[in-house]
Amino acid sequence: AKKWINIRKSYGNFYKVPRNQTKLTIMLENLGMNYDGRPHSGLDDSKNIARIAIRMLQDGCDLRVNERIHGGQLMTVSSSVPLEGAPAPQMPRYRT
């Protein structure tokens, strides 16, 4: 994987919150969700990050690749860079 979405960056930019408000438990809390599972379990953390991503899509966020590795260096990808590949799936615009 040489390109990915850093959900913390996307969350902070979309909801206009400072970096110290982008810890997993704080993001969940601010979205009215509880942490499901055991803290620091890779699988449980991944499931909770997916729940955040789904909520962001429902709220109208356009999740895009925002980090990549180039020449062994971590690089930020500008949000103005066109998307590559297929568009992200459209999520229903309703809240549960």
Q: Can you give the pLDDT at residue 1? A: 80
Domain boundaries, the chain: 3-76
Per the CB < 8 A criterion, the answer to whether 48 and 38 are in contact is: no
pLDDT tens across 45-89, in order?
A: 999 999 999 999 999 999 999 999 988 889 898 765 444 444 444
For domain 3-76, the CATH class is alpha beta
pLDDT tens across 34-48, in order?
A: 999 998 899 999 999
pLDDT tens across 6-31, in order?
A: 999 999 999 999 999 999 999 999 99
Q: Can you give the pLDDT at residue 79? A: 63
